[in-house]
Amino acid sequence: MNVSQSLRAATERLSATSDTARLDAELLMAHALGCTRTELLLRHMQSEVPAAFDALVERRAGHEPVAYITGSAEFYGLELIVGPAVLIPRGDTETLVEVAREAFADRQPPRRILDLGTGSGALLLAALSLWPDAEGVAIERSPEALAVARANGRRHAPAARFLSGDWTQPGWASDLGQFELILSNPPYVEDEADLTPSVRAHEPAQALFSGPDGLDDYRLLVPQIPALLAENGISIIEIGWTQGQAVSALARASHMSARVHHDLAGRERAVEMARIANIPLGKGRSAH
């Protein structure tokens, strides 16, 4: 059986597990061959199947995410190391980076950027790819996730600082100073939410779940943001698609303006916040 035939068989095997069975099979085959997916499709379809491929397919058939099997994921054009200690970066989260890019398009670029709950480091590293002269700081409470973020930092932004910190604990931000841009993708999933097995069984629960309504971390984090914002700073926080009104209310109760932005599918995805009486909110890609 050559690669082309094996891919067809693997696609059929994975069709009950994944809505992207063919793509999954191709990514796993490329990983087993040690090549890119493009190289696989152009050069290796008649090649011999690597011995490791069947075991990779069985792991995916057991709902293990492809990114954890291959150990990597792409975010905003960056190849990132990932593993079970961190959430897999999603394309929808790139919305936050785009909102930031547009917000700073007609003003001075941010000098200091903070990423709260950095996980793999995706948001900070994407922002630093836009503003490489900025000082980047990331906070993460999980030691295992922090190790992953630091590894990605060494690859993409060696000057960035990845610090241990927990916004649920007093004094965590006392030495951080202020920032022109604060990004965060906090836990926001309801405790009893119906998630796919690949997410619920494999991705880190403490990075996903935030109480019965998914708002517990927002209630703790949002009131602390004004003290971390520079005079003309903005904060952009990821939200679940039904949480825009609730998180905006928390921002306004903390003396910040709030604007909801949508992802490419038209769902609420981020809230942009600024201290009241400082600056108007950025244009944003899609907001109300």
List Cβ<8 Å contacts ≥24 apart for 219-222: 219/250, 220/167, 220/168, 221/116, 221/167, 221/184, 221/186, 222/247, 222/250, 222/251, 222/254, 222/256, 222/273
What is residue 284's predicted lDDT score, i.e. its pLDDT? Answer: 43
CATH code for position 228 = 3.40.50.150
| Strand intervals (E) in the chain | 72-75, 78-81, 112-116, 135-140, 161-164, 179-184, 229-238, 256-262, 268-275
Distance in angstroms (rounded) separating the CA atoms of residues 162 and 124? 10
What is residue 205's predicted lDDT score, i.e. its pLDDT? Answer: 93
What is residue 276's predicted lDDT score, i.e. its pLDDT? Answer: 86
- Do 171 and 238 share a domain, yes or no? yes
Tell me whether residue 98 is in a domain: yes
Which residue ranges of the chain lie beneath pLDDT 70? 277-288
Instruction: Find the domain containing 140 and state its range.
Output: 84-275
Contact 73, 148 (CB under 8 A): no
- Do 122 and 41 share a domain, yes or no? no
- Do 147 and 37 share a domain, yes or no? no
| Residue pLDDT, tens place only, 104-161 | 999 999 999 999 999 999 999 999 999 999 999 999 999 999 999 999 999 999 999 9
Tell me whether residue 132 is in a domain: yes
Task: Give the total number of structural domains in the chain.
Answer: 2
What is residue 142's predicted lDDT score, i.e. its pLDDT? Answer: 98
